[in-house]
């Protein structure tokens, strides 16, 4: 089982996490090798320019250098050759750079594609409790913002690191070969660069982690605000919501400004150190040339062209160092994102199939709850000592006050959760010993808060069986009295539903969900408050459809409207997590217990029998 590590305890740089991330590039090693090869060629070609420039000045342009012994024609010929070499090096560097960028981007995008796929697949497998404990917006932030940060690293950041290291190695080699003393003078900037990086490294990491956390909080708040905009406007809570969002946005602003403040100090500091290195080389190299010129040497150990080339290499040496500092900040941000993504992927589903789980065969519908106890939170029991036997084809109604445990009974039957003790069996199979997929494929659920997906009405009805024909879709809609209103829609069954099916009424959404459940042809049917949100006319349509929907199926009905369950074979009354009564409607009315009290209250407020 995965244990979450608090953000404050995370290491500044987790090498294991980094290696794990880079392994996503392994299947594309040949593309990466192509990118690295092109990168080396590009880096080599790019460093030809300053060398050629220096040689051209010393050999053909400097009147006091080697050119003093050449005539003008030979000097021009030599200058032309070096110019062509210079241009050729630029073209080679451009071509190799294109290949390197394309190859690495291709590998990086494929790696990110696989990572995003695995993350989404794992999210689908996580248990309901995990989602209950986390805001939707924060989960969305993991899949969008954090993955995008990793995309930037894998597609360009890593190859930039390799390229910068290669360039530094090539430049150092050239500088040492040109003039060892000047090279050592240029390298005096390395210790302060390392010191500054060491000081800023943990601060930058903490700042980027804080930014990612604040962004996730904003996403969570935004998702909730958009989903509940009708409630917000109904209760005129716009100003309060804005103030709450303003607080979160301000916190994100402060965290981002702090991260940028550190970066604004870190980057320019490195540039200043690099500039000092250039100044040192300019002063030291200039004094060498002047000293040798004053001493009368016609061709000293250091010519003007060599110094110019050397200054160019010093700047090129500083550039990858500065770029590495920027990549370091990007890598810190990516590692903060990576930790959160892998934190999800390392979370074991609370409910998962046992290694020896079997597919449950075609369900007949005999269900047994035996000594079942359950709690969402430790020691806060929602169900206690539940014992219930349901025969195939029976209609069972769960009733009771809010919080009595009705929906929890269903959640356990669907194996969204496991009992803390006791067992639930279907046709004698303990639910913990069968595959969840084979169980749920034979179940149909219609919820009070019907969820329809973006797409057509036809696609939503066929959601549980995408291989069905159009005729079967229409037949299911007719059976639940949905066909008439669907035909009246602008494009009929091909009408596109908006987000949350807002272009359908509540009753219409319920009828579509009924058609979806019927088309699935489940052996066990669950109706969780399925008629509580519809008008009286639509309820009559649904009641007519129930005769078709419930026929020859074991069914469970949760309803606050007790008039809708009078024909149930067994009414189970739950109170504070226990079964306190069970029996047929008339039997329970005559018993004058909890059910009779509930029924009397509804009848007294206008509920008809």
Domain spans, the chain: 7-345
Whether the CB-CB separation of 372 and 412 falls below 8 Å is answered with yes
Query: What is the overall mean pLDDT for the chain?
Result: 81
- In the sheet where 421-426 sits, what is the strand order? 380-390, 367-377, 421-426, 429-430
- pLDDT class of 538 with cuts at 50, 70, 90: low
Residue 244 has pLDDT above 60, yes or no: yes
In this predicted structure, what is the pLDDT of residue 608?
A: 38
**How far is Cα 136 from Cα 118, in angstroms, rounded to an integer?**
18
In this predicted structure, what is the pLDDT of residue 190?
A: 80
Q: Using one digit for the tens of pLDDT, what is the confidence trace for 253-278?
A: 988 898 888 878 887 887 788 788 88
In this predicted structure, what is the pLDDT of residue 385?
A: 93
Q: What's the whole-number mean pLDDT along residues 373-399? A: 90
- pLDDT class of 529 with cuts at 50, 70, 90: low
Q: Identify the residue whose tokens are 């890593």.
A: 158
In this predicted structure, what is the pLDDT of residue 609?
A: 37
Neighbours of 45 (CB within 10 A): 19
Residue 105 has pLDDT above 70, yes or no: yes
- Residue 17 tokens, joined: 């996490």
Burial class of residue 244, CB neighbours in 10 A (0-12, 13-18, 19+): middle
Residue 424 has pLDDT above 90, yes or no: yes
Residue 10 has pLDDT above 50, yes or no: no
In this predicted structure, what is the pLDDT of residue 434?
A: 92
In this predicted structure, what is the pLDDT of residue 9?
A: 38
**How far is Cα 145 from Cα 129, in angstroms, rounded to an integer?**
24
- pLDDT class of 536 with cuts at 50, 70, 90: low
In this predicted structure, what is the pLDDT of residue 368?
A: 94
**How far is Cα 79 from Cα 59, in angstroms, rounded to an integer?**
9
| Buried residues in 134-149 as b, exposed as e (16+ CB within 10 A) | ebebbbebbeebbbeb
Q: What's the whole-number mean pLDDT along residues 364-380? A: 89
Helices (H), 126-189: 128-132, 136-141, 147-152, 158-178, 180-186
Residue 401 has pLDDT above 80, yes or no: yes
**How far is Cα 555 from Cα 396, in angstroms, rounded to an integer?**
6
* Contacts of 583 by beta carbon, 8 Å cutoff, 6+ apart: 570, 571, 591
- What are the Cα distances from residue 490, in Å, to 297, 388, 459, 477? 94, 48, 16, 17
Residue 387 has pLDDT above 90, yes or no: yes
The CATH-assigned architecture of domain 7-345 is Up-down Bundle (1.20)
With H, G, I as helix, E, B as strand and everything else as coil, classify residue 528.
Answer: strand
- What are the Cα distances from residue 73, in Å, to 60, 66, 67, 81, 83? 10, 14, 11, 13, 15
**How far is Cα 413 from Cα 558, in angstroms, rounded to an integer?**
14
């Amino acid at each position: 089982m995965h244990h979450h590590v608090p953000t404050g305890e995370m290491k500044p740089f987790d090498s294991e996490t980094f290696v794990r991330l880079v392994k996503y590039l392994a299947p594309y090693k040949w593309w990466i090798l192509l990118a690295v090869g092109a990168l080396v060629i590009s880096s080599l070609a790019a460093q030809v320019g300053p060398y050629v420039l220096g040689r051209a000045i010393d050999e053909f342009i400097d009147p006091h250098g080697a050119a003093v012994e050449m005539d003008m024609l030979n000097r021009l010929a030599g200058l032309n050759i070096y110019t062509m070499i210079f241009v050729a090096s630029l073209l080679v560097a451009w071509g190799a750079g294109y290949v390197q960028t394309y190859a690495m981007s291709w590998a990086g995008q494929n790696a990110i594609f696989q990572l995003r796929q695995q993350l989404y697949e794992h999210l689908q497998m996580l248990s309901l409790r995990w989602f209950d404990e986390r805001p939707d917006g924060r989960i969305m932030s993991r899949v969008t913002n954090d993955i995008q940060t990793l995309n930037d690293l894998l597609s360009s950041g890593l190859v930039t690191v390799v390229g910068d290291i290669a360039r530094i190695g090539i430049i150092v080699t050239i500088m040492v070969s040109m003039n060892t003393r000047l090279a050592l003078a240029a390298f005096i900037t390395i210790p302060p660069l390392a010191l500054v990086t060491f000081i800023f490294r943990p601060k930058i990491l903490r700042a980027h982690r804080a930014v990612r956390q604040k962004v996730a909080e904003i996403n969570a708040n935004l998702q909730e605000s958009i989903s509940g905009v009708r409630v917000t406007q109904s209760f005129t809570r716009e100003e309060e919501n804005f103030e709450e969002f303003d607080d979160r946005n301000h916190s994100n602003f402060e965290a981002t400004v702090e991260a940028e403040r550190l970066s604004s100090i870190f980057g320019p500091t490195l540039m200043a150190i690099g500039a000092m290195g250039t100044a040192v080389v300019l002063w030291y190299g200039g004094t060498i040339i002047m000293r040798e010129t004053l001493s009368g040497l016609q061709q000293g150990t250091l010519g003007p062209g060599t110094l110019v080339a050397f200054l160019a290499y010093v700047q090129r040496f500083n550039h990858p160092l500065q770029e590495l500092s920027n990549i370091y900040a990007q890598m810190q941000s990516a590692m903060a994102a990576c930790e959160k993504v892998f934190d999800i992927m390392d979370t074991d589903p609370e409910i998962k199939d046992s290694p020896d789980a079997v597919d449950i065969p075609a369900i007949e519908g005999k269900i047994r709850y035996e000594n079942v106890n359950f709690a969402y939170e430790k020691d806060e029991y929602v169900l206690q000592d539940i014992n219930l036997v349901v025969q195939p084809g029976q209609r069972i109604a769960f009733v009771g006050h809010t919080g009595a445990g009705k929906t929890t009974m269903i959640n356990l039957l669907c194996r969204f959760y496991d009992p803390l003790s006791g067992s639930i069996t279907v046709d004698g199979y303990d639910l913990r010993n069968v595959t969840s997929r084979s169980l749920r494929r034979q179940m149909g659920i219609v919820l009070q808060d019907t969820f329809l997906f973006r797409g057509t009405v036809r696609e939503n009805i066929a959601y549980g069986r995408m291989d069905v024909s159009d005729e079967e879709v229409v037949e299911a809609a007719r059976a639940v009295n949905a066909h008439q209103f669907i035909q009246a829609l602008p494009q009929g069954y091909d009408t596109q539903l908006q987000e949350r099916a807002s272009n359908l009424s509540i009753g219409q959404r319920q009828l579509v969900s009924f058609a979806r459940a019927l088309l699935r042809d489940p052996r066990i049917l669950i109706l969780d408050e399925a008629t509580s949100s519809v008008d009286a006319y639509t309820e009559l349509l649904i009641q007519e459809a129930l005769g078709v929907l419930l026929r020859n199926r074991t069914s469970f009905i949760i309803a606050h409207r007790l008039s809708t369950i009078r024909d149930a074979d067994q009414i189970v009354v739950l109170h504070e997590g226990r079964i306190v009564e069970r029996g047929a409607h008339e039997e329970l009315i005559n018993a004058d217990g909890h059910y009779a009290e509930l029924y009397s209250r509804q009848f007294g407020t206008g509920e008809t029998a």
